[in-house]
């Protein structure tokens, strides 16, 4: 986005293009990041009732100490710093969509900023949405 602004389109709105690029990247990797963040919290019980182990790493006990505690902390930080901001951004874009379309001065900027959300679906292929 920076190089595009510098060499090709000098009057490019940097914030709008950056939001669109970041949103598209987050949308691409959202499911993988979300599943990875939840893996430390998925545990199964041992058959002899001696505790719980992680489903993805049976050698790690789910006892909130050592390796498991550090995995839980990193996963919680990832949820707070990646998942929740993305969900807030997409929720904000969806809730404000109608009012932004009614206001002619902000409709173009809002549409370009959240293009990764709203321009994925076309009327002639509505059944895929």
Q: Per residue in 43-57, pLDDT tens?
A: 999 888 888 988 888
Whether pTM exceeds 0.75: no
Burial 2-24 (b: 16+ CB within 10 A, else e): eeeeeeeeeeeeeebbebbeebe
Q: What is the pLDDT of residue 127?
A: 59
* pLDDT, mean of residues 23-39: 89
Query: 17-31, 56-70, 98-112: lowest mean pLDDT where?
Result: 98-112
Rg for the chain, CA atoms, rounded? 21
């Amino acid at each position: 986005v920076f190089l595009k602004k510098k060499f090709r389109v000098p009057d490019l709105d940097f914030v709008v293009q950056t939001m669109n690029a970041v949103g598209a990247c987050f949308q691409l990797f959202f499911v993988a990041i979300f599943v990875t963040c939840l893996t430390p919290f998925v545990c199964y019980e041992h058959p002899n009732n001696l505790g719980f182990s992680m489903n993805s790493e049976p050698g790690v006990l789910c006892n909130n100490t050592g390796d498991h505690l550090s995995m839980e902390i990193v996963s919680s930080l990832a949820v707070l710093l990646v998942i929740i901001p993305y969900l807030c951004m997409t929720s904000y874009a969806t809730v404000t969509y109608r009012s932004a379309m009614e206001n002619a001065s902000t409709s173009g900027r809002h549409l370009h900023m959240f293009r990764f959300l709203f321009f994925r679906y076309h009327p002639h292929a509505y059944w895929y949405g």
